[in-house]
Structure 1
C-alpha cells in the first residue's frame, strides 16, 4: 500500500513538473497511403506608398476547410499557418523544425509538428509533410503579420481568400507546391504544383545533380525597372532574365592565395531554362562530378560552382557586360554557389549568391565529408532560390 502511494506521489510530481515547464505532447495520427507535400510562398513583398493598401501576402494554408454558414473557415483537415515569403535556401533537412526564434514559417511543413516523409529510395524526405492522398480543396488565406494562430483571429481578420482551388495528390508521390504571381501587369496570383521525380531516377551518388526553373510572372522582365522591387542581393538577376536562356557552369577551387577554375570544367554549356509559371513539368537534371578535382582525396572537396545565365548567342568568353553591371537587359545574370565561409567580396560584384550544391558535413570518422546532392534552382521575379535534397548519410562518430 505504502509503495503504491509513493508511486502515486512520484508520478503526480513528474506530471506537475511537466506542466510547469510547459511541455505538451503532440498527437500524431497515422496516415494511410499518404502523399508528400512541401509548400513555398513565392509572393515576395516590399512595403511602399505604391502598395501600402494591398494585403501583405502573409498566408495560412487550409486543406479541406470547414466553413460556417457565413463562409468563414472554422477548422481544416490540415493547416499550414504563418506562411511567410520563402528563404533563399531550403536545405536538405528540416532546419526550421523545433526552432522558436520567430513565429514566421518560411515553408510548409517547416516548423509545423506534423508527420513527415520517410527515406524514399535513399532520399531523405523529412522536409515534406505527409498528407492524405486523394482530391482536396486547398485554400490560401491572407492573415495579419502577428503570432496569433489563424483560427484564434478575430472574424474580420480571417475572411480574405487569396487562392481557392482543388488538387489531386496521388499516394506515395512527392509534390512541391508554389504560391506565385502569374502576371506582373494584372497582378494575377496562382499556384504551381509540381510532381517530383528525383526519387525515381537512377542517380549516381558520385554526381551532383541540378535542374532549373524560371517561374517569373508574365511580363516581369519586360516591365520598367522602376516597377520592380530591385533586390540588390540578386545582382544582375534582380530585374529578370529573358524567357529563354542558356546556362554555363564553372567549377571553382579555392587555393590559399586565390581561386582557380578547374580545367575541363570552365565555362561549359550545361543546358537551357525557359520561363514557365503555368505547366508544372519536371525539367531535366544536369550533372557534374562530386570529385571533379583530381587532387582531392575522394572524401572531401572544396570546389564550388559559378553559373552564367546568358541569352542565346552569348557566351561567357565574349560577354559584353562588365562584372559590376546590374542592368544587363535580361541578357546575362551570374550566380555563385559559394563554399561555406565565402562572402560577396570574394565573388563577382553583380552575382546572386547561393550556398554550395555540395554538402560538407561530419559523417562517420570524417569531419567533414563531401556528399553529392540533388538540387533545384528556381528564379521568381528577381529572386533566386536553391532547394537541396540529400541521400541519408551515416552520422558522425565521436
Structure 2
C-alpha cells in the first residue's frame, strides 16, 4: 500500500462471494457503516489494523478503528530467544456481560473460547515434546507430543496485562529457544510453550500445578484462567488437553518454527510473535528471520 492519507471504511454485507461493489445498488444501500476513519500512513512502516468493539451495553454498537504502528522491524532480536508480546483489546464490560460457560478447548481455526479479565498475569511453562527427530512416522502414524515438564521453566512470570485499546506497542517478553542441556548444537529445539493467563490472586480457586499439563486443575469460571498451548504446525499432533477440570483455552501455532535449512532436514528458528485477546477470541501473528535454503 502506498504511503499517504487513506480512508478505511467497513460495511456490513451479505454472506456471499460477490465483491461488495458488484452487489446490486439496492443491497449496498441497505448496508450499515461499521467503522470509518482516515489515517496517514508513513513510508516503510508496518501497521496493525483492527475493528474493535468499544463498549458493551449501549443501545447501539460502538466501534473503533484501531491502528497500531509496529516497531519489530526496527528492533534487534537474538536468534536464541523467542519474543512475544500481548494485548487485551476487548470491549469495556465484555467479561461481565458474558458470564455463560465457555468451551474448554478450541482450535486456532475456531478460536472462540473464554474472555480474560481486565487485569491478568501471564506465565510460561516449557514441556519436552519427546518425539523423534528428524520427524518420522511411527507405525504410519504421527507420534503423540510429550508433556514432560522442563525443570526451572514452570509457571515463570512474564508480565502483567491490562485491557487497553490505546494503540501503543507493548514490550516483548523472552522465552528460551534452546535449553542448557541441548545436545543438538542449537539445531533442534525439543520443547513447546504453554502460556497461562491468570487474574491476580488466582481468580478464586487458583492454579494447581501438577506434572501433566493436560490435567492441571483450574477454577473454571468465565474470565478466570485461560491457557494457550503453542504447538508446532509441522509433523506433530496436538497434545490431548480435553476433559473436565482443565483450563479453558486455545491451541495456537508454535512460537518455535521448524524448517529444512542448510544440511538439516529440520532446524528450529525463533519467532517474534504478537498475541491479541479480543472479547472471546485470540489472534496470533508471527514473523521470523530469513534462513538458509536446504541443500539437496
Shorter-normalised TM range: 0.7 to 0.9
Alignment-derived partner of residue 238 in structure 2: 343
Q: Structure 2: state its 5+ residue gaps.
A: 132-143, 210-214
Q: TM-score, normalised by structure 2?
A: 0.80
Q: Does 2:38 correspond to 1:154?
A: no
Unaligned 5+ residue runs, structure 1? 1-130
Higher relative contact order (Cα pairs below 8 Å, separated by 6+ residues): 2
Equivalent pair of 2:80/2:177 in contact (CA under 8 Å): yes
**Rg larger in 1 or in 2?**
1
Listed one character per residue, the Cα deviations across residues 324-344 of structure 1 (whole Å, up to 9, x for unaligned) are 667324232122112342325
Quick check: 1:382 aligned with 2:263? no
Q: SS in structure 2 opposite 1:314?
A: helix
Work out whether residues 334 and 352 of structure 1, in 8 Å CA contact, stay in contact via their aligned partners in 2: yes
Counterpart-to-counterpart distance in 2, 1:318 and 1:165: 42
Give the CA deviation at 1:284: 0.5
Asked if 1:365 is matched to 2:263, the reply is: yes
Question: Matched residues in 1 for 2:217 and 2:176: separation?
Answer: 30
Aligned to 2:141: none
Identify the match of residue 181 of structure 2 among 252, 273, 294: 294
Q: How does 1:64-75 map to 2 (within 5 A)?
A: none
What are the residue-to-residue correspondences of 1:160-309 with 2, within 5 Å?
A: 160=31, 161-186=33-58, 187-226=61-100, 230=102, 233-234=105-106, 238-255=113-130, 258-277=146-165, 279-292=166-179, 294-297=181-184, 298-309=186-197
1:188/1:372 Cα in 2 relative to 1: closer, same or farther (>3 Å)?
same
C-alpha spacing 1:232/1:188, structure 2 compared with 1 (3 Å): farther
Partners of 1:311 and 1:349 in 2: how far apart?
13
Give the deviation of 1:225 after TM superposition: 2.4
What are the Cα deviations for residues 111-162 of structure 1, in whole angstroms up to 9, with x where unaligned?
A: xxxxxxxxxxxxxxxxxxxx12122221112222212122211012223222
**Residues 225 and 239 of structure 1 are in contact (CA less than 8 Å); yes or no, is this contact kept in structure 2?**
no
Distance, in Å, in 2 between the alignment partners of 1:224 and 1:330 is: 9
Aligned counterpart for 1:331 among listed residues 224, 245, 263: 224
Please tell me whether the aligned partners of residues 241 and 331 of structure 1 are also in contact (alpha carbons under 8 angstroms): yes
What whole-Å deviation, never above 9, does each CA across 1:161-196 have from its counterpart, x for those lacking one?
Answer: 221111111111110101121212223122111100
Task: State the TM-score, normalizing by the size of structure 1.
Answer: 0.61
CA distance in structure 2 between the partners assigned to 1:296 and 1:385 by the alignment: 34
What RMSD, in angstroms, separates the aligned Cα atoms of the two structures?
A: 2.7
CA deviation digits over 1:263-288, x for unaligned, max 9?
Answer: 221111111111112x1100010001
